[in-house]
Amino acid sequence: MAESRLHELSARGQSVWIDYLSRDLCRSGELKRLIDEDAVVGVTSNPTIFQKAISQGDAYDGQLRELLETESEPKEIFLQLAVRDIQSALEVLAPVHEQNPEDGYVSIEVDPNFAYDTKATYDEAIRLHEWIDKPNLYVKIPGTEPGLQAIEDCIAGSHSINVTLVFSLPRYRQVVEAYLRGLERLAEDGGDLTKVRSVASFFVSRVDTETDKRLDAIGTEEALAQRGKLAIANARLAYEHYLEAFSGARWEALAAKGAFTQRCLWASTSTKNPAYRDVLYVEELIGPHTVDTMPEETIKDFQDHGEVRGDTVLEGVDEAHRLFDQLAAVGIEYDDVVDTLEKEGVQKFSDSFAELLDGVMAKRGALVAS
């Protein structure tokens, strides 16, 4: 019998990850508690998450004082701080990974300023993998067009990658193709396909936020009736492609050599619109071989009143296809929506990274002054 609602979710084949990390989370035993009581089997991080963690409290002050003696570059100081947190989380999750090699992962992201630079993204991804060097590490690479080649090259080199900031179905198809090509190159080079993993982080709630804003601006009865629909439909069609891509002769040849599928990871699953159910995006995207990475509030909300009614990601696929025509009919350009979201997503992470480095230097200044 499932121990909790999130354990019930896990029993349906969906892995529960969290999208926050801090030094206190590991030190206090809270991460271990989340694993035991909330079925958590993975952690993702990004510049916004680290900015929040480092700016609050004094948990990082001791290491900062040590670093001040040898390092002056803000980014390198940040990486030293972040890597220690990642290593701590990797250690806590190591038993999970040993029990199930598809889970127990912790993600660290490449510098978001490299999102449109293939070589810089690849070089930093390799640097992070070599620096941390743990089998349950994911390095996050944004799924921008320049990021696709870096993703393929990393997979071909047997480096596990979390592809982040995926919003559109055409881009998702390209991400899957990059993963498959990377695996094929790895196989051609005699590499061990069982050692490499990947997830594609498909962002959810932001799609509704942007689309609903545009529907509100149009303001017709027909337009307003389409609010709150595209995010779930978009993700369900991504999963439809996942099922298609990881079947058939091409995939079977790779699977025979030990390859694992690139699971869909539902990111941005907290509900931004208070008019919507607070666990809407979790409840509607339940399915086998998927990951849902949740913020702290969503974990609590789902444990309190979430419903697991079946493989909901498989529901309403025909309606999802029709929705795109319905949105176009009222004036919503899907390609423009998702292009805007990708650009804004990269910019938000870049802004958070700049704020993070400013915060590191402010803390550095305060410590020097004291």
CATH number of 5-369: 3.20.20.70
pLDDT digits (tens, 9 = 90+) for 252-297: 999 999 999 999 999 999 999 999 999 999 999 999 999 999 999 9
pLDDT of residue 50: 82
Say which DSSP state 288 is in.
Answer: T
pLDDT of residue 1: 40
pLDDT of residue 82: 92
The residues carrying an active-site annotation are 140
Nearest 5°: the CA angle 180, 334, 280 is: 80
Q: Spell out the domain ranges in the chain.
A: 5-369
**Residue 2 pLDDT class (50, 70, 90 cuts):** low
What residues contact residue 92 under an 8 Å CB cut-off, 6+ apart?
26, 31, 32, 35
Q: How far apart are CA 214 and CA 232, in angstroms?
A: 17
What residues contact residue 370 under an 8 Å CB cut-off, 6+ apart?
none
pLDDT digits (tens, 9 = 90+) for 310-353: 999 999 999 999 999 999 999 999 999 999 999 999 999 999 89
Is 204 buried (19+), middle (13-18) or exposed (0-12) by CB count in 10 A?
Answer: buried
